[in-house]
Amino acid sequence: MGYNYKELGLSNTKEMFEKANREHYAVPAFNFNNMEQMLAIVEACAEMGSPVILQCSMGALKYMTKEVVPLLAKAAVDRARAMGSDIPVALHLDHGPNLDAVKICIENGFSSVMIDGSHYSFDENIKMTKEVVDYAKQYDVTVEGELGVLAGVEDDVVAEHSIYTNPNEVEEFIKRTGVDSLAIAIGTSHGAHKFKPGTDPKLELNILAEIERRIPGFPIVLHGSSAVPQKYVEEIKKFGGQLKDAIGIPDTELMGAAKSGVAKINVDTDGRLAFTAAVRRVFAETPAEFDPRKYLGVAKEEMKEYYKEKIKNVFGSQNAYKIGK
């Protein structure tokens, strides 16, 4: 068994990114791990008329299984259409570790993949990325590569410090690999613990500008872009959770990037925080509740509200397509 993404009604990222760069917004790439999160993402994007990338990590694929993920993505498309929206939906592998993983995803309906060779040398990164591009091209699947290293945790890989992308390397990387988009490191980082409270997180926007100067119009991707909303951190702690004090990337820092050559921005952590805060709140306020729909439903609505706000305040991708009701 297996699927071609086109038969699931999915899109690759090519036209999505062309339109995003033309119209100066960024496409949201929201990670999902279950049905509630998929529904929150697609309903938020359909109601805003925003294109969407459903992003699935290797851990998420293992958790949901490769039999279920493509059908959840198809269900997302069907849900958007039932709401009357024509938004394009991509199913994207986040931080693909190697060609074998990419092959499994493409066989199972992914329309886009990332190959993350950022922890290898420049030449090794190019070699493994090019292999993936050559393979994915046969299926019209788009490929994201990465140059530079983000601080934080990705699956099992932990990087203590970020290594900013070197603008001198980007043209050669794109030319030699044939990637469709490029993830760069300019000061964002993965996970909930990005910066200490009281600090003033700043992105290296001068590096972004220099990269854009060298590859005008080429789709750039930002990972690690969660804001770590303090209302969720406080709620989680108030209702018995343990979370270190931390802050994320301010919306204002990302807004400028979304208007420029950045075509895709990744958000995972904030969805987890919204979900966890909502479930803890319901458990604390109604301890007699044991119908999972009562707390998962609240969690879904919380995530949906968050995604809609983020689209409005950061991505600027609202009204790009038909609004769904």
For β-strands 89-96 and 52-57, DSSP reports them as: parallel
268 binds ligand G3H (CB under 6 A): yes
Which member of 74, 92, 130, 190 binds ligand G3H (CB under 6 A)?
190
Reduced to 3 states (helix: H, G, I; strand: E, B; else coil), residue 52 is strand
Residue of 78, 94, 123, 140 with catalytic role: 94
Q: Could you give the angle at the alpha carbon of 277 between the alpha carbons of 273 and 281, nearest 5°?
A: 175
In the window 13-32, what residues touch ligand 13P (CB under 6 A)?
Answer: 31
For the record, the structure tokens of 236 come out as 């989680």
Closer residue to ligand G3H, CB minimum distance, 125 or 226? 226
Question: What is the C-alpha to C-alpha distance for residues 271 and 33, in angstroms, rounded to an integer?
Answer: 10
Helices (H) and strands (E) in the chain, counts: 12, 10
Which member of 74, 193, 194, 223 binds Zn ion (CB under 5 A)?
223
Q: Which stretch binds ligand G3H (CB under 6 A): 56-64, 100-108, 174-182, 305-313?
A: 56-64
Q: Which stretch binds ligand 13P (CB under 6 A): 83-91, 100-108, 166-174, 224-232?
A: 224-232
**Binding site partner of 116, from Zn ion, ligand G3H, ligand 13P, none, Cβ cut-off 5-8 A by kind:** none
Examine the residue annotation and report whether 94 is marked as an active-site residue of this protein: yes
Reduced to 3 states (helix: H, G, I; strand: E, B; else coil), residue 221 is strand
Question: What is the C-alpha to C-alpha distance for residues 277 and 195, in angstroms, rounded to an integer?
Answer: 20
Answer yes or no: are the C-beta atoms of 180 and 16 closer than 8 Å. Answer: no
Which member of 11, 57, 177, 188 binds ligand G3H (CB under 6 A)?
57
Is residue 291 classed exposed, middle or buried when 0-12, 13-18 and 19+ CB atoms within 10 A define those classes? exposed
What does the binding site for ligand 13P look like in residue numbers (CB under 6 A)? 31, 94-95, 190-191, 223-226, 266-269
Residues at the site binding ligand G3H, with contacts judged by CB under 6 A: 31, 57, 59-60, 94-95, 154-155, 190, 268
Provide the annotated active-site residues: 94
